[in-house]
Structure 1
Amino acid sequence: VKDDEEHHSVTVLCSSNEVYGISQDMCVTCGSIGVNEEGRLISCSQCGQSYHPYCVGFTKMFSKVIFDKGWRCLDCTVCECCGKTTDEAKLLLCDDCDISYHTYCLSPPLDHVPKGNWKCQW
């Protein structure tokens, strides 16, 4: 990660033979702990990994849906209806809350992935 005035690279080296603990969560994408506003991280409700919202392309304010249902990172994204990760080409990601659904799991189902933005019913 390139250093600039807003972002600083952090390298953490640990031996597999040593116990190492960090008192703050670290962004999985950029490796930074950050300070003040930059130190605010979101955690995946599935795996617990932490990310800066801007590192995962989430620039909007967090909606009530995210607080109620939790947020999942891309590695843990599943269809909210069927709970499966298969058929990724038909998995829609809501542009407001990042919740995912297969096109065929929606009610009513969609024939194809819509072009442009898509928002779920939440």
Structure 2
Amino acid sequence: MTLLNFDSQEHELILEILRADADDYVDAVVVKDQYKLSAPPVDRVASKRVEDEILESDTYIVNVGLEESPATTDTYHFYPALQDDDERNDRLFIEIRTERDSSELYFDFQQNR
């Protein structure tokens, strides 16, 4: 999993990742944590934090929010590559971005297989 901050300000990302096929909430929770993402360095477009080996190749519901902006939330459904795919490379990218026409923050999700 890779967390990216494209905004010029530091942000505290609230992250909850749930197994989609779990019967109850306690069994579903895989990740429930907060991550501080610094503002991008002067010579970069985004700051980056990589969290390897957090997720197995499975189906997840990903809930994100910003500590300092409770109205900025989003949900993403992560589906893994097929198990018989030799080029399988499941990776989730969560990006904090700013709307071009305003200063509103939003999340963008990418999945690399």
* Larger helix percent: 1
Structure possessing the higher radius of gyration over alpha carbons: 1
Q: TM-score range by the shorter chain?
A: under 0.3
- Ranked by relative contact order (alpha carbons within 8 Å, sequence separation 6 or more), the top structure is 2
Report the structure, 1 or 2, having the larger strand content. 2
TM-score (norm 1): 0.24
